[in-house]
Copies of this chain bind each other. A is one copy, B any other.
């Protein structure tokens, strides 16, 4: 029952603050014999780095992974896999002016109320720096999905008010494209919006869509670990996420049963559904169709504008946060979303081994 441990059979325990020496994690429950694909891990880490475009920040992060245990001769051993990623060194004194001030819509106030005091340097444990740990873990575990012919792919479908028209069917190429956006015809608009917001010292939110293909029917553990319930918990644990939906999601509330139902049909020797309003999960268990979900990110709270707030004594103060921050972090969230989805699917793959006596 650890607050920093995720998963059921396959677990990730995460640790570290943005301004401590490292962040890191411990993966446990992964079967022995899995090949580690270090280049894929690096690739996913690179996708999480600040974007080299109008929406990104100029900060650079090396993100070298230091493996501490659980790998022998390039393969997992069945023992816990621990790793760290070194943080860039910061001067703690850079944050002294923030130590008694609660930044609006950051976690300063709530962490201090909960724990009595807080590590005020750059958000500490509340910083999104922690998500680098999830990317490493998810990218490593992804090999288990590949062995089972499962793939996870995500794309940005909305930034600010700019929405991709395209369906999520063909997002396999978004990976290498600007903003990871599902509709490249609108990238120029996005660039303009990002530029404008940067000039105004403002930030934008967005929406990410994710598609998981190749999931066999039978994953998910009703009634409290339905596959989509575990996916929701995973996604909502990511910094800045405000909403989760799968299949038709909130749009399903507008539909009638006769529209929403997915008719079963036979194709070759398989039973499939003619439509996929359900998003690949029925009754909390995967049905073999693609799993589709979306999640909403709020705009990050670090705006470059003078804001009203109070200090720890409750006195009103004016706050201006300096430094270069992302205008929009949503594109960087793609490998995080994919990693958390990977952890959930892999966990349920292992759990499903106990579903039947044979």
Q: Which of B9, B271, B315, B357 contacts A1 (CB 8 A)?
A: B9
- A283 x B226 contact (CB < 8 A): no
- A217 x B13 contact (CB < 8 A): no
Shortest CB-to-CB span from A188 to chain B, Å, is 20
Enumerate chain B residues within 8 angstroms of A50, measured Cβ to Cβ. none
CA distance A73 to B120 in the complex (A): 11
- A262 x B105 contact (CB < 8 A): yes
Q: Mark A4-44, 1 if CB is under 8 A from B, else 0.
A: 11101111011111001111101011011110000000000
Interface residue? A169 (CB, 8 A): no
Q: Mark A185-211, 1 if CB is under 8 A from B, else 0.
A: 000000000000100111111110000
Give residues of chain A (84-125) contacting chain B, Cβ–Cβ below 8 Å.
84, 102, 104-107, 109-111, 113-119, 124-125
CA distance A20 to B16 in the complex (A): 21
CA distance A5 to B273 in the complex (A): 31
Q: How many copies does the complex hold?
A: 4
CA distance A296 to B249 in the complex (A): 7
Q: Which of B2, B282, B300, B308 contacts A107 (CB 8 A)?
A: B282
A9 and B11 in contact (CB under 8 A), knowing A248-B298, A310-B266? no
| Segment of A56-64, A173-181, A237-245 in the binding face | A237-245
Interface residue? A218 (CB, 8 A): yes
Shortest CB-to-CB span from A248 to chain B, Å, is 6
- A298 x B255 contact (CB < 8 A): yes
CA distance A219 to B271 in the complex (A): 37
A264 and B102 in contact (CB under 8 A), knowing A78-B355, A253-B298, A356-B115? yes
- A34 x B357 contact (CB < 8 A): yes
Interface residue? A331 (CB, 8 A): no
- B68 x A21 contact (CB < 8 A): yes
A-B contacts, 12 of them at CB < 8 A, read A1-B1, A13-B13, A73-B117, A77-B119, A106-B283, A107-B282, A109-B264, A115-B355, A126-B283, A226-B236, A260-B298, A274-B308
